[in-house]
Copies of this chain bind each other. A is one copy, B any other.
Amino acid sequence: MKARVTVMLKAGVLDVQGEAVRHALGTLGFEGVHGVRQGKVIELDLAETENAEETVKAMCEKLLANTVIESYRVEIL
C-alpha cells in the first residue's frame, strides 16, 4: 500500500524557499503571484497493515516532520 505525507511550514513561520520562488517568478515575468509556500511530499511504499495511518503518523512525529514549526497531512492511497 502507498501513503503520501505532505509537510508544510506552519502559518506564521517564515518560508525563505517560498519567498525565493515568489521573487524568482516575478523576475521571470509571472505577475499576480501573491504568495508561495514550499513544503515536502514523501511517498511511502508500505507493507499491508491494519493501522497504517497511525503508523505513518508516528513516522511523522518521530522523523518526517519537525512539529515545532511544521504541520503534516497523511493520505493513505
Interface residues in chain A, defined as those with a beta carbon under 8 Å from any beta carbon in chain B: 6, 8, 18, 21, 24-25, 28, 30-47, 49, 55, 58-59, 62-64
Contact = CB atoms under 8 A, between A and B. Distances in A.
A47 B34 contact: yes
B45 A30 contact: no
Contact of A46 (B28, B34, B58): B34
A34 B63 CA distance: 17
Contacts of A31: 47
B34 A45 contact: yes
Contacts of A49: 32
26 contacts: A6-B41, A8-B43, A21-B42, A21-B63, A21-B64, A24-B63, A25-B59, A25-B63, A28-B59, A30-B55, A30-B58, A33-B44, A33-B46, A33-B47, A34-B45, A34-B46, A34-B47, A36-B44, A37-B43, A38-B40, A38-B42, A38-B43, A39-B40, A39-B41, A40-B41, A41-B41
